[in-house]
Amino acid sequence: MVMKGAALREVWATNVMEETALIAAMTKSFPFIAVDTELSDFLRHPPRFASMKQLYQDVKHNVEGMELEEQIDLERNRDEDVDVELLSDLLLGNGCFDRRPGRTWVTFHRIYDLAYLVTLLSHSLLLETLISFALLIDDVLNSVVDTKYIVRSCREDFGTGDLRLLRILRPGPKSGQARGPVGPARPIDSPNDSLVTAMAFERMIHNFPHLLEEELEVFVWGMESCKIE
């Protein structure tokens, strides 16, 4: 499996040049790239049965009213954080977001990840309508899949939450070893979410290769009516 040997890396002002160059090299080497962002809380919560139009307006309100939150030492973050515009320029300048045939961006039930990402890259506010946002996503990222949609195709093996996915994805115990705890005693670390999403997606397409033959692109939870043809 490709995910063997995967490791988390920290990016700070002192190493952002080297790390973004490494990110660029990785994006050119692998067809699937998982993305996850962290936010402190919602400023406005949509009603339970909100329309997609209302959902997007709440996404726009929340994204424009809050900054990304890093689950790290806040004092160090104040002293050594990466300038957002510099990070955006480096990612774009290194070709991380060049449109490449066969490359797909992977998320998990996170229209917010895409909203923050395109806001970061464009240095601008979100567009006014959901369809305009969907067209922008298609222009910037081209191919996007949401693993929550894929989960619906293989419910017998996968649940809809990160913890359930992690239970499925963790390698089985070796002879004489018990599987480690998953749950309250060992919660998901927010910085690990993109890695968990990548592992989930890889496991899904490994077990269900037919999924790659289906039309999954630009199917993001909350954007069901905006699949780009």
pLDDT digits (tens, 9 = 90+) for 204-213: 777 777 766 6
Number of helices (H) and strands (E) in the chain: give both, helices first. 9, 3
Round the CA-based radius of gyration of the chain to a whole number and report it: 18
- In the chain, the domains with their CATH numbers are 16-96+105-170+181-226 (3.30.420.10)
Residue that is written with structure tokens 């910085």 in the block? 191
> φ, ψ for residue 102 (rounded to 5)?
85, 0
> φ, ψ for residue 149 (rounded to 5)?
-65, -40
For 193-213, what is the mean pLDDT? 77
For 146-170, what is the mean pLDDT? 59
Give the model confidence (pLDDT) of 50-101 as tens digits. Answer: 787 887 888 888 787 765 554 445 577 678 888 888 999 999 999 998 888 8
pLDDT at 167 over 80: no
Question: Which amino acid does the sequence have at 105?
Answer: W
Residue 175 is predicted with a pLDDT of 36
For 124-133, what is the mean pLDDT? 85
Q: Percentage of the chain with pLDDT > 90?
A: 9
Residue that is written with structure tokens 């309250």 in the block? 184
Which residue from 90, 99, 84, 107 is spatially nearest to 33, judged by alpha carbons? 107
Residue 18 is predicted with a pLDDT of 95
